[in-house]
Each structure stands twice: as structure tokens, then as C-alpha cells.
Amino acid sequence: MFDKTNFTGLKDHIAEVNALKRQDVWYYSVTKIKEDLQQEFDKDGNALRASKNPKNPMFGRPVDEIIKAWEAKGAVTRQRGMWCDEYVGYLLEGQEAKAKMMRLDHPEPAMENKFNCIDQAVETLVGKAGMELIARETELMGVFSTRIGEIGVQGRFDALFRWKNPSTGMYELVLIDWKNSDVITKDNKYGGKLLGPMSAFDDCDMNIFTNQLCMYEMLLRRNYGVDGPVNLYVGQFPSTGGFVLHKPSYVLDYDTFIKILEYVKQKEELKRTMK
């Protein structure tokens, strides 16, 4: 039984609601929504500019070589992100032996720093703040009525905790999205903006990460009956060390949320028409 006051039973409640997923509605992933809100990355154009910029480390190198270097770097970043996700999961679930094994398997300094960041994060959140893990790597979904029909949304959050606020004595939820990035941009130095209903906001990491977190919160509230405070954070594990918690850069209201869904549906339909 899901208790809305202390959030006991929420994990099972999420599973029960997910089992009732509607099959007559198309669901857009939170990842797809993120992609549609961002400017398309012009890899050829950016690589050409990098090759001509004396201040850029890629100065003078052929465009195709620069693109390959970027792709290789991206692959390393994604792999490190997977290791970080596994490691934080082992610690949160009390699987200390597996966590130690991962450290043995990946002793390089960059990963050691990231593992140390995760140790710090778990000690800070669980050990000191007393947060209790409810669920991790769990899918949320929901269907929303819009002016152009019903639209489904689904996405997988990283970690959901419950926390007893010492000031009020009441339980609150804490939703964290882990990020492996060394740098999280909070503005766009070139003036680039997000697209569609989010065009007033800079196209930068923090605004996109905020959108993802707000999507998860909207699903928790609208489809799973969650009430009360839901604290949103981006947890960063840089390879230089030092765990960082970032607060969202804005609050996403329901009207804008619906407009985003309408925008994504129309955009995806136009993409299919253009193929």
C-alpha cells in the first residue's frame, strides 16, 4: 500500500501503475524530447571552425580526423558514465564487494576520482543527510491530454530517495539525475537557444538536465499520485574529483509541459513525412 505521507510502498506502486501501460497511445521518451528541444549539432561545421581556430587544440587537423577524435572521446565518456551508474548502484544497494571489484578493474586516475566522488555523494546523501533509497534506474510513464490528442511520455530516472526534513518532521522526495560530465554548462556563450516552447532558454547542459528532471517530477505527480515536496538535483561526478549537487535552473509549469509534448509530437510527425 502506497502511503503518500511517508512514501512507503512507492516503488511497488510505480510497478503496479506501469503494469497498466496503455497500448493505444504512442509514447515519446524523455531522451527524444531532449533531442527535439536542442539545436542539431553541426559536426562538420564545428569541426571546420575548430580546424581554423589557432586557439583550438584541433587547429590545423583535417575535419574528418577531428570528427573521429570527438566520436572517440564521446565513446569514452559514455563508457565511464556506465561504470559510474553501476558503481553508485552497488553502493546504494549495499553490494560492497562488487563496488570494490569495479575499482580494481578500472584503476585509472580519472575513474578513481569519479569513484571517490560517488563515495562522497553516498556518504553525504545517505550517511549524513539520512536519505533512504526508494528506487533506482526505474521507468516512469504517463499519458496526457493535449489540444492535438493524447500523448504518452516515458523515461527512466537515476535515483529516488525519501528524506525526513528535520525542520518540518515531514518526509520529502529527492530525485537525482547522475551526470558523468566534467563540465556542466549553465549558459550558451554563443547565444544558442533551445527550440519550440523552450526558445527563451539557452541551449546548455543545465537547462536540458532541468527539463529531464521536471519531466520525471511531472510524471510522479500526475500519474503516480505523489504529493508534497519533490526536490530535484543533478549530481555531478567530474574526473577531477569533488562531488557537486546542482539545483534546477528553472521550474517547468504544466502548461509549458503540455506545449512541449505537442511540439515534439508535431515535429516527429513532420520528420516522418519528410523521409
Q: Which residue has the cell 525542520?
A: 167
pLDDT of residue 190: 85
pLDDT of residue 270: 95
pLDDT of residue 275: 73
Q: Which three cell numbers stand for residue 147?
A: 489540444
Percent of the chain having pLDDT more than 90?
84
pLDDT of residue 201: 97
pLDDT of residue 46: 86
pLDDT of residue 128: 94
Which region, left, alpha or beta, applies to residue 94 given φ > 0 means left and ψ of -120 to 50 means alpha?
A: left
Q: Which residues, listed in sequence order, are joined to residue 151 by a DSSP beta bridge?
A: 144
pLDDT of residue 47: 87
CB-CB neighbours of 118 under 10 Å: 24
pLDDT of residue 18: 98
The model carries a pTM of: 0.92
pLDDT of residue 232: 98
Residues in CB range of 194: below 8 A, 6 or more apart: 37, 38, 39, 201, 202, 203, 207, 208
pLDDT of residue 41: 82
pLDDT of residue 176: 97
pLDDT of residue 45: 86
Is residue 185 within 8 A of residue 204, CB to CB? The reply is: yes
pLDDT of residue 240: 86
CB-CB neighbours of 247 under 10 Å: 11
Q: How far is CA 190 from CA 43, 46, 103, 226, in A?
A: 16, 12, 39, 39
pLDDT of residue 189: 87
Q: Which residue has the cell 502511503?
A: 3
Q: Which three cell numbers stand for residue 187?
A: 549558459
Using a 10 angstrom Cβ sphere, with 0-12 exposed, 13-18 middle and 19 or more buried, the burial of residue 244 is: middle
**Residues of the chain under the 50 pLDDT cut:** none
Tens of pLDDT, residue by residue over 193-250, are: 999 999 999 999 999 999 999 999 999 999 999 998 999 999 999 988 889 999 999 9
